[in-house]
Chain A
């Protein structure tokens, strides 16, 4: 085998080229600190813009659907200092009826509470028919109650409660402080960390399918 002419000629290339090849290290494409800064700033900007856009969209959702966030006094507890024996008896009766009907699993039963303004025990049923009223009367006996038609059955509200309760930690991150079934409003009352927790409102209404059945409140400092 003869060494090809070219191979022999390559043996005569300039020494500096050979010396360079001995020590050569390819330049790694390094990201300079300036580039790093620009990338970090751009990432922050995108993040801020993203959050702003999402927040605006969620706010728009709240406005468009006319969702109001009610205010409740924080730490406000039921004041029984002025409760009379009569009032106490009514409250007990309302509670008794509620427990009875809830345990019986009456599908059209909505809520039961004592309305101190009218001094009446109010009983909500999803369909205010003679047959339904008769069935309730058969269960609770002869009591002085006022029927009214309500939007949601207690069973349905309990189902929604369970649904939210299963995801309470995720909801907490979005700003849901707590939730409960409210007898008076016949709704699932969701307490928010603030008025602007639009993500929480969206999640409860759309992701957990509570639209209409949930009412939102936020606690405000009670200065009284």
Chain B
């Protein structure tokens, strides 16, 4: 079923919308959640919470890109759950990914929504000027929290190439943010 029809089902308040979403994007959701959360039960809960969140946000929201919209929700929910569970269960892979980012922009203090939106726009601008390979490797690593091995396999690159691409992209991002007046 295409995305517009699924969105139409949400607007019609049909419960089939959840079934169809799960059918089409269930695997993607689980893969994003599992990349962030080490516990499968936590990941499943996050996926279910994602469907609930979709149900409550559509309508009024009508996403341009349903896949990206779903990914955004599942990612945010998973990261929140990770923060919640942090003392007991910590996903090593996500911790590694996050620590890589800390070298670009220090400070884990809570930022205002406006600040995060501005930063998100700047990162989008930066990524648009990157090569497609570098951009997508970066997003797979820091948005979807894929492991280096998974990215290498997905794009038929060597792990060392992925590592090197990420290193150089982070370096350029740091320089870009500094240029834009962001305190790194």
Residues of A within 8 A of B (CB): 1-22, 24-28
Contact = CB atoms under 8 A, between A and B. Distances in A.
Interface centre among B63, B120, B133 (most CB of A within 10 A): B120
Contact of B136 (A9, A10, A24): A24
Contacts of A26: 132-133, 136, 155-157
A18 B139 contact: yes
A18 B68 contact: yes
Contacts of B9: none
A13 B109 contact: no
B11 interface: no
B51 interface: no
A15 B65 CA distance: 7
A28 to B, nearest CB: 8
Contacts of A5: 105, 107-109, 111, 115-116, 119
B120 A3 contact: no
Contact of A17 (B115, B119, B127, B133): B127
Contact of A9 (B75, B116, B155): B116
Contact of B108 (A3, A13, A17): A3
Contact of A6 (B63, B104, B140): B104
B128 interface: yes
B140 to A, nearest CB: 6
B156 A11 contact: no
Interface string B100-115: 0110110111110001
Contacts of B95: 1
Given A9-B116, A11-B76, 16 more contacts: A1-B90, A4-B107, A9-B120, A9-B123, A10-B143, A12-B119, A13-B127, A17-B124, A18-B143, A19-B68, A20-B135, A21-B135, A22-B28, A22-B67, A26-B132, A26-B136
B163 to A, nearest CB: 16
A2 B119 contact: no
Interface of B: 28, 63-65, 67-69, 71-72, 75-76, 79, 82-83, 86, 90, 95, 97-98, 101-102, 104-105, 107-111, 115-117, 119-121, 123-124, 127-128, 132-133, 135-136, 139-140, 142-144, 155-157
Contacts of A6: 101-102, 104-105, 119, 123
Given A17-B139, A18-B143, A3 B79 contact: yes
Contacts of B120: 9-14
Nearest to A13: B124
Contacts of B127: 13, 17
Contacts of B75: 11
Nearest to A8: B116
Contacts of A21: 135-136, 139-140, 143-144
A19 B144 CA distance: 12
The 6 closest A-B pairs by CB, nearest first: A12-B120, A9-B119, A15-B68, A18-B68, A21-B139, A2-B108
